[in-house]
Amino acid sequence: MRDYILKRMAAVILGFISMYGFYVILHGHISPGGSFAGGIIVGLSFIAFSTIYGIQDGSAKLPEKILVWVESYGTLWYGLMGLVGIVKGAPFLANKLAGVDLGTPGTLSSGGLISLIGLGVGIRVASTMVTLFFTLMEEEA
Amino acid sequence: MHFIAVDYWIMVLSLILMAASLAMYFIKDLIHAVIVYGAYTVTMALVWLLMNTPDLAITEAAAGICTTVLMMVAIFRTSRKEE
């Protein structure tokens, strides 16, 4: 009962913190921030969830299997986005040369593949931070 | 030398940074030192902002708080007082 206010406030706020992290990740090429900073913000929202609701609830929400899966496939996603250029007959990680429509400057789609690449890097950073936190917090055998 | 207002703010913030660095060295209670480290990173983010690099400011704020949390957990798992 002592931390009732904390838990209710966290239930309201943490979703918005996580959403802001994904905003920073996806808008890395037109506004301050990037996939590293945004990924840390997303990871911090899960770390705050684990500290407020207890480490058992946090581990139940993000099991180690999912964390390892996200960490591996986030890196693979970067490589796959790079291979788009090679498939189109352009250099590795090519963006405009690969025929991606860049749209109007200043909007989200003006980055082409950069937002999608950043999404892979961001979720990888987030899962790394959460893994570090869980590894430090878990009970000693 | 010609100074503008931003330069004086950066000087004041640099003094705070130096004081925080020295305090981290001399404080024996490690949890207090980590709290001072959190203040250090926030001040450093303000310095990046005044130097017109908001990109670094966001990264410094996020990464600084994250390392503060991780250091706090590390102290929680080991001993609190410095030998």
B51 touching chain A per CB within 8 A: no
pTM of the complete model: 0.87
> Which residue in B19, B56, B57, B54 sits closest to B39, CA to CA?
B19
Residue B58's Cβ-count burial label (10 Å; 0-12, 13-18, 19+) is: buried
Classify residue B26: in a domain, yes or no.
yes
- B46 in Cβ contact with B19 (< 8 Å): no
Q: Do A37 and B69 touch (CB under 8 A)?
A: no
Classify residue B42: in a domain, yes or no.
yes
Option in B58, B66, B73 nearest A44 (CB)? B66
Classify residue B21: in a domain, yes or no.
yes
A132 touching chain B per CB within 8 A: yes
Classify residue B69: in a domain, yes or no.
yes
A67 touching chain B per CB within 8 A: no
**Cα distance between residue A138 and residue A134, in whole Å:** 6
Helices and strands: H and E segment counts in chain A: 5, 0
Distance from CA of A1 to the nearest CA of B (A): 24
Number of domains in chain B: 1
Classify residue B3: in a domain, yes or no.
no
- The per-residue pLDDT string of chain A (141 residues; one tens digit each, 9 = 90 and over) reads 578 899 999 999 999 999 999 999 999 888 888 899 999 999 999 999 998 988 888 888 888 899 999 999 999 999 998 898 888 888 888 888 877 778 788 888 888 888 889 999 999 999 999 999 998 888 764
Query: What is the reported pLDDT for A141?
Result: 47
Classify residue B48: in a domain, yes or no.
yes
Classify residue B39: in a domain, yes or no.
yes
Among residues 10-29 of chain A, which lie with CB inside 8 Å of chain B?
Answer: 24
For B33, the domain range is 16-77
